[in-house]
Chains A and B, each alone.
Chain A
Amino acid sequence: EIVLTQSPGTLSLSPGERATLSCRASQSVSSSYLAWYQQKPGQAPRLLIYGASSRATGIPDRFSGSGSGTDFTLTISRLEPEDFAVYYCQQYGGSPPYTFGQGTKLEIK
């Protein structure tokens, strides 16, 4: 089973700042099978990034994804107030289980 480890657990930043979130896999993951989700309190997860770097429909271009192999990054170039939420990475390694990282909480400093 591939384990995804996200860091940091909590990131405290101010609006306008740049956020860099990390997702590290215990073994190599195809970039095509790495996705990022945003979740706000009381809401379902929302797809942000798929294929490690492609933005989902309607996602602002301040969100970007990068990485390959075992190291992936979600970057938010300039934080807006609505971006403060929990972010999860997820992988598909060719067979179940379909694991999620433990999440990074992005909070207002």
Chain B
Amino acid sequence: EVQLVESGGGLVQPGGSLRLSCAASGFTFSTYDMHWVRQVTGKGLEWVSAIDTAGKTYYPDSVKGRFTISRENAKNSLYLQMNSLRAGDTAVYYCAREVFYGDWYFDLWGRGTLVTVSS
């Protein structure tokens, strides 16, 4: 089955760190660019990071310098290392697969993992 499964969310104190994982299955993970997208409860979607097939990474200003996206193709896994966490980082974090073949879109999403930053 083609799927993405996130894990690693939980409760962390402000200033703390957390590492999220996304396990991919059913497709050739190494051939896709991958993303993390987050959603504060009751709010909209916010793009958090991207990594291309060559390992080049991209971030919005809101997380640049605090978050690091990485991938391990041999394990079909995507990661998000989150440091210096703030209350505003509290959200459900989704991993998503990008398709860019003429058209561009995110065609596969995981179910998400909840990160709560609170003392």
Contacts and interface: CB of A to CB of B under 8 A. Distances in A.
Interface residues of B, number: 23
B50 A98 contact: yes
Contacts, number: 64
Interface string A63-89: 000000000000000000000000010
B1 interface: no
Contacts of B47: 96-100
A88 B45 contact: yes
Interface in B82-110: 94, 99-100, 102-107, 109-110
Interface of A: 32-33, 35, 37, 39, 43-47, 50-51, 54, 56, 88, 90, 92, 96-103
A98 B44 contact: no
B27 interface: no
26 contacts: A32-B104, A33-B104, A35-B104, A35-B106, A43-B111, A44-B109, A44-B112, A45-B37, A45-B45, A45-B94, A45-B106, A47-B107, A50-B99, A50-B105, A51-B105, A88-B45, A90-B45, A92-B100, A96-B50, A97-B60, A98-B35, A98-B47, A98-B50, A99-B47, A100-B44, A102-B44
A56 B44 contact: no
B80 to A, nearest CB: 15
Nearest to A32: B103
Contacts of B111: 43-44
Contacts of B59: 96
